[in-house]
């Protein structure tokens, strides 16, 4: 039988492995670590990489926090108890080259008591330029992981990601999606908590091989100034989503989380251009036309 301490220890090991893998893929920069404690209970390890060969800024964070839930969070969760424990790993990578995509991953565990506990997380890709072969590769790898645990997981979690990573005020998806899931427990999955824990770990352990391949494919591609400008515009959409809609950002702020760790998902630079309209038929226009829900990327290659 697993327990919350075992989950937190495993997540720390996953953080360590991902940092080693990203340092190898970048070839220049290294992560700097800052350990922190939360006033209400618990703490974490924030690791940031900056100004690498490939990665302009990347964060790989671990946290394990506990304490009292604010009334607003209790109401949102529909629970009466307020003693909580939450642990997880959260990653956002912003690359230098516009052809290398932004990637985000999160695996997490939340517990109020033996009856109220669940896993959440996911992994999604936000290309500045959508490359269909890369999108297909990414989704196929996620499907391979999901299929090892449940035949419905990929289809179910892919739709969940499409719906979640949607910028309503822009009427576009943040990127090409991936998988997203929340509040997974024994009753809504037919899996044991031990199996859900293994699923969570496998998502985390798949990260390096997936992203390292996407880096390898695109890190040396040449780009023009207008493509760099487009990257900064797409980054601004990422900022908008995280500050307006992202539930993890909201949870962190409302539970007195560490602000630097919460906002490490933001890029070092983003641009907002008034009423920007790409030229019809351009690569930028093609990308915008693919930022929509319901695309079957597994079969689209």
Rounded to a whole number of angstroms, the CA Rg of the chain reads: 19
CA pair distance 10, 195, nearest whole angstrom: 14
Can you tell me which residue has the tokens 């893929």?
Answer: 25
CA pair distance 24, 5, nearest whole angstrom: 29
CA pair distance 59, 57, nearest whole angstrom: 7
Half-sphere exposure of 188 (CA within 13 A, CB side): 13
User: Strand 102-111 and strand 117-126: pairing?
Assistant: antiparallel
Active-site residue flag, 128: no
Tokens read off for 6:
């075992």
CA pair distance 77, 65, nearest whole angstrom: 17
Active-site pick, 104, 150, 169, 226: 104
Catalytic residue numbers read 104
């Amino acid at each position: 039988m697993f327990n919350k301490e075992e989950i937190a220890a495993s997540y720390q090991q996953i953080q360590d492995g991902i940092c080693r893998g990203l340092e190898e893929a970048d070839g220049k920069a290294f992560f700097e670590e800052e350990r922190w404690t939360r006033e209400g209970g618990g703490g974490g390890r924030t690791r940031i990489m900056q100004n690498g060969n490939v990665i302009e800024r990347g964060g790989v964070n671990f946290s394990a926090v506990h304490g009292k839930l604010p009334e607003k969070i209790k109401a949102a969760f529909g629970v009466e108890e307020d003693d909580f424990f939450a642990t997880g790993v959260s990653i956002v990578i912003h690359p230098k080259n516009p052809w290398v995509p932004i990637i985000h991953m999160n695996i997490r565990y939340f517990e109020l008591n033996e009856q109220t506990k669940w896993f959440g997380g996911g992994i999604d890709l936000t290309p500045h330029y959508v490359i269909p072969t890369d999108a297909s590769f990414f989704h196929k790898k996620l499907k391979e992981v999901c299929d090892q645990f449940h035949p419905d997981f990929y289809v179910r979690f892919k739709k969940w990601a499409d719906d979640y990573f949607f910028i309503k005020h822009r009427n576009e998806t943040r990127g090409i999606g991936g998988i997203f899931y929340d509040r997974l427990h024994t009753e809504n999955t037919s899996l044991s908590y031990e199996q859900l824990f293994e699923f969570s770990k496998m998502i985390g352990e798949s990260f390096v091989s997936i992203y390292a391949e996407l880096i390898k494919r695109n890190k040396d591609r040449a780009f023009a100034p207008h493509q760099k400008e487009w990257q900064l515009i797409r980054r601004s959409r990422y900022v908008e989503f995280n500050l307006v809609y992202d539930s993890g950002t909201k949870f962190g702020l409302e539970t007195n989380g560490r602000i630097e760790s919460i906002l490490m998902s933001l890029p070092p630079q983003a641009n907002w251009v008034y009423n920007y309209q790409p030229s019809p038929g351009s690569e930028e226009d093609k990308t915008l036309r693919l930022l929509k829900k319901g695309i079957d990327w597994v079969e689209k290659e």
